[in-house]
Amino acid sequence: MTSPSFQTFRYGAWVFDIDLAMRLLEEHPRAVELTPVADWSAAYHLSLLKPDYDGQPWCPIFGPDQSHFNLEHAMRTDLDQPVIIATLEFDSGPARLLVDGVHRMYRAMTEGRPTLPPHVLTIAETATIRAH
Protein backbone atom coordinates (compact mmCIF):
# COMPACT_ATOMS: atom_id res chain seq x y z
CA MET A 1 0.00 0.00 0.00
CA THR A 2 1.40 3.37 -0.98
CA SER A 3 0.87 6.50 1.04
CA PRO A 4 -1.17 9.25 -0.62
CA SER A 5 0.80 12.07 -2.18
CA PHE A 6 0.69 15.48 -0.60
CA GLN A 7 0.33 18.19 -3.23
CA THR A 8 1.87 21.57 -2.54
CA PHE A 9 2.91 24.65 -4.48
CA ARG A 10 5.91 26.66 -3.32
CA TYR A 11 6.29 30.38 -3.94
CA GLY A 12 9.40 31.65 -2.19
CA ALA A 13 9.03 30.81 1.49
CA TRP A 14 5.29 30.23 1.17
CA VAL A 15 3.88 26.75 0.69
CA PHE A 16 0.30 26.29 -0.48
CA ASP A 17 -1.57 23.09 0.44
CA ILE A 18 -3.27 22.02 -2.79
CA ASP A 19 -5.05 19.07 -1.17
CA LEU A 20 -6.66 21.45 1.31
CA ALA A 21 -7.59 23.80 -1.55
CA MET A 22 -9.33 20.94 -3.37
CA ARG A 23 -11.30 19.99 -0.24
CA LEU A 24 -12.27 23.63 0.30
CA LEU A 25 -13.49 23.87 -3.31
CA GLU A 26 -15.55 20.68 -2.89
CA GLU A 27 -17.17 22.12 0.25
CA HIS A 28 -17.75 25.56 -1.32
CA PRO A 29 -18.47 25.13 -5.05
CA ARG A 30 -18.37 28.18 -7.26
CA ALA A 31 -18.93 29.18 -10.84
CA VAL A 32 -16.02 28.53 -13.15
CA GLU A 33 -15.07 31.27 -15.59
CA LEU A 34 -12.21 31.13 -18.08
CA THR A 35 -8.63 32.30 -17.66
CA PRO A 36 -6.31 33.18 -20.56
CA VAL A 37 -3.61 30.59 -21.22
CA ALA A 38 -1.30 33.07 -22.97
CA ASP A 39 -1.10 35.33 -19.89
CA TRP A 40 -0.20 32.49 -17.51
CA SER A 41 2.18 30.91 -20.01
CA ALA A 42 4.06 34.21 -20.32
CA ALA A 43 4.13 34.82 -16.55
CA TYR A 44 5.46 31.32 -15.87
CA HIS A 45 7.82 31.26 -18.90
CA LEU A 46 6.26 28.00 -20.07
CA SER A 47 7.65 28.42 -23.58
CA LEU A 48 11.11 27.65 -22.14
CA LEU A 49 9.96 24.23 -20.91
CA LYS A 50 10.83 22.38 -24.08
CA PRO A 51 12.41 18.92 -24.16
CA ASP A 52 15.16 20.17 -26.49
CA TYR A 53 15.90 23.43 -24.62
CA ASP A 54 19.64 23.96 -24.34
CA GLY A 55 19.84 27.69 -23.65
CA GLN A 56 21.10 29.48 -20.58
CA PRO A 57 20.06 28.04 -17.20
CA TRP A 58 17.21 30.02 -15.71
CA CYS A 59 15.27 30.05 -12.49
CA PRO A 60 11.65 31.09 -12.81
CA ILE A 61 9.96 33.21 -10.18
CA PHE A 62 6.78 31.21 -10.74
CA GLY A 63 6.30 27.64 -11.80
CA PRO A 64 8.71 24.81 -12.46
CA ASP A 65 12.19 24.91 -13.92
CA GLN A 66 13.37 22.31 -16.42
CA SER A 67 14.29 19.87 -13.61
CA HIS A 68 10.79 19.96 -12.06
CA PHE A 69 8.78 19.65 -15.24
CA ASN A 70 7.46 16.40 -16.68
CA LEU A 71 6.48 16.74 -20.34
CA GLU A 72 4.85 13.29 -20.54
CA HIS A 73 2.69 14.11 -17.53
CA ALA A 74 1.79 17.52 -18.99
CA MET A 75 0.56 16.01 -22.22
CA ARG A 76 -1.69 13.53 -20.35
CA THR A 77 -3.38 16.13 -18.14
CA ASP A 78 -7.12 16.75 -18.30
CA LEU A 79 -7.73 20.22 -19.71
CA ASP A 80 -11.31 20.16 -18.50
CA GLN A 81 -10.17 19.95 -14.85
CA PRO A 82 -10.07 23.52 -13.50
CA VAL A 83 -6.74 24.98 -12.45
CA ILE A 84 -6.55 26.66 -9.03
CA ILE A 85 -5.69 30.34 -8.74
CA ALA A 86 -4.94 31.84 -5.34
CA THR A 87 -5.58 35.50 -4.50
CA LEU A 88 -2.95 37.20 -2.36
CA GLU A 89 -3.21 40.58 -0.73
CA PHE A 90 -0.33 43.03 -0.99
CA ASP A 91 -0.03 46.72 -0.14
CA SER A 92 -0.60 47.50 -3.81
CA GLY A 93 -3.78 45.40 -3.87
CA PRO A 94 -4.79 41.82 -4.66
CA ALA A 95 -2.69 39.65 -6.97
CA ARG A 96 -3.38 36.22 -8.42
CA LEU A 97 -1.07 33.22 -8.40
CA LEU A 98 -1.56 29.94 -10.27
CA VAL A 99 -0.98 27.34 -7.56
CA ASP A 100 -2.27 24.22 -9.32
CA GLY A 101 -2.32 23.47 -13.03
CA VAL A 102 1.04 24.49 -14.49
CA HIS A 103 1.26 21.23 -16.46
CA ARG A 104 -2.29 21.81 -17.79
CA MET A 105 -1.34 25.36 -18.79
CA TYR A 106 1.66 23.99 -20.67
CA ARG A 107 -0.44 21.47 -22.56
CA ALA A 108 -3.06 24.11 -23.39
CA MET A 109 -0.30 26.45 -24.62
CA THR A 110 1.26 23.82 -26.88
CA GLU A 111 -2.14 22.81 -28.28
CA GLY A 112 -3.19 26.41 -28.93
CA ARG A 113 -6.07 26.40 -26.48
CA PRO A 114 -6.86 30.04 -25.59
CA THR A 115 -8.44 29.52 -22.16
CA LEU A 116 -8.75 27.05 -19.30
CA PRO A 117 -11.35 26.85 -16.55
CA PRO A 118 -10.09 28.05 -13.14
CA HIS A 119 -11.27 27.93 -9.57
CA VAL A 120 -10.30 31.27 -8.03
CA LEU A 121 -9.76 31.32 -4.28
CA THR A 122 -10.58 34.41 -2.26
CA ILE A 123 -7.93 36.17 -0.16
CA ALA A 124 -9.34 34.49 2.98
CA GLU A 125 -9.39 31.05 1.33
CA THR A 126 -5.82 31.53 0.11
CA ALA A 127 -4.71 32.40 3.65
CA THR A 128 -6.33 29.14 4.82
CA ILE A 129 -4.33 26.97 2.40
CA ARG A 130 -1.01 28.76 2.92
CA ALA A 131 1.33 27.13 5.41
CA HIS A 132 2.63 29.65 7.93
pTM: 0.85
Q: What is the dihedral of CA 38, 41, 44, 48, to 10 degrees?
A: -130
The rounded distance, in Å, linking the Cα atoms of 12 and 34 is 27
> What pLDDT, in 10s, does the model give residues 109-132?
999 999 999 999 999 999 999 986
Rounded alpha-carbon distances, angstroms, from residue 109 to 38, 45, 67, 74, 92: 7, 11, 19, 11, 30
Residue 44 pLDDT grade (very low, low, confident, very high; cuts 50, 70, 90): confident
Domains, the chain, ordered by start: 19-131 (3.90.1530)
Give the residue with greater pLDDT, 51 vs 24: 24
Statement: residue 1 has pLDDT above 90: no
pLDDT, average across residues 105-112: 95
Judged on CB neighbours under 10 Å (0-12, 13-18, 19+), 76 is exposed
Give yes or no for a contact between 98 and 44, defined as CB atoms under 8 angstroms apart. Answer: yes
The rounded distance, in Å, linking the Cα atoms of 48 and 45 is 6
- DSSP structural state of residue 4: P
Going by C-beta distance under 8 Å and a sequence separation of 6 or more, which residues neighbour residue 53?
A: 66
pLDDT, average across residues 64-93: 86
Residue 53 pLDDT grade (very low, low, confident, very high; cuts 50, 70, 90): low
